[in-house]
Amino acid sequence: MNLKHITQEVVKLSIATGAFIKKEGESFDTSKIEEKGKNDLVSYVDKEAEKMIVTGLKDILPDAGFITEENTIEEDDRELKWIIDPLDGTTNFIHGLPCYSTSIALARGEELLIGVVYDIGQGECFHAYQGGGAYQDGQPIQVSPTNLIANSLIATGFPYYNFEKMDSYISILRHLMQESHGLRRMGSAAIDLVYTAIGRYEAFFEYNLNSYDVAAGALIVQEAGGQVTNFAGGKDFLFKREIVATGHIHNELLAVINKNW
């Protein structure tokens, strides 16, 4: 399997899908919003974008299965699976905030092989494949060399779907607000991850995410020289619903999280 060639084809597909999403955003009909939950919105754009991606990926690699956010195709038990979030940052998209992305990964079990994230608002495409390094628009990228939280800008999200953990989360945020350069909450985990990969952030952490939120971005961080684990430091983050992705502050950030979690 030629991972480099497959990745190049996925990049093209991501950019084409992003163009569709951006165009739809110019005349978006808010009456077509659906609520999966109070803080969990979906639109016809998510579903149509997912169908575009699934169709394209079937042409690129017919033998792979799928894990998708919008469930436009049934999952099966194939070893190779595409893990897709067609529009990561739907709430931003609906409100006209240009921070949303497409996220496509190829995995064998929990082993990530390919990751492509297209930051639609900025027109930046990030990609990586196993052992091949990480790239932004074809140029190699690396994580930030900063090695102290005191000199770091850190991204996170909020655990909207499990408020039982909110007090613990606030304790972590309070510590990091006081000890770092600052915290940011963009509303797209895929973008948070690739911004960590390119060194705009020193780290990203979040609780209660799904595999399709993090799969592509996590591989891009790893291939850019970063570390990705769950909150306990384990490598099984993909289906664990918690993630810590960093450049060179991993142990220090894990210590803060575990002291308060």
pLDDT in tens, 57-107: 999 999 999 999 877 777 778 999 999 999 999 989 988 999 999 999 999
Judge whether 4 and 132 are in contact, CB under 8 Å: yes
- Give me the number of domains the chain comprises: 2
Count CA within 13 A, CB hemisphere, residue 42. Answer: 16
Strand ranges (DSSP E) for the chain?
34-37, 40-42, 65-68, 80-88, 101-108, 111-119, 124-129, 134-136, 139-140, 153-156, 182-184, 203-207, 227-229, 242-246
Judge whether 250 and 221 are in contact, CB under 8 Å: no
129 lies in the same domain as 153: no
Domain that includes residue 159, residue range: 149-259
- Residue 76 buriedness (CB in 10 A; 0-12 / 13-18 / 19+): exposed
Cα 48 off chain centre by: 20
Is there a binding annotation on residue 236? no
**∠ CA(42), CA(45), CA(47), 5° rounding?**
70
State whether residue 87 is helix, strand or coil. strand
Is there a binding annotation on residue 167? no
Is there a binding annotation on residue 79? no
State the pTM of this model. 0.94
Residues 6+ apart with CB under 8 A from 260: 168, 171, 172, 175
Q: What is the pLDDT of residues 170-208, one digit of tens each?
A: 999 999 999 999 999 999 999 999 999 999 999 999 999
Whether residue 31 is predicted with pLDDT greater than 60 in this model: the reply is yes
175 lies in the same domain as 71: no
118 lies in the same domain as 158: no
Determine what percent of the chain is predicted with pLDDT higher than 70: 95
109 lies in the same domain as 19: yes
CA–CA gap between residue 62 and residue 55 (Å, rounded): 10
118 lies in the same domain as 202: no
118 lies in the same domain as 162: no
Is there a binding annotation on residue 40? no
99 lies in the same domain as 25: yes
Is there a binding annotation on residue 59? no
Given 109, 140, 171, the domain boundary residue is: 140
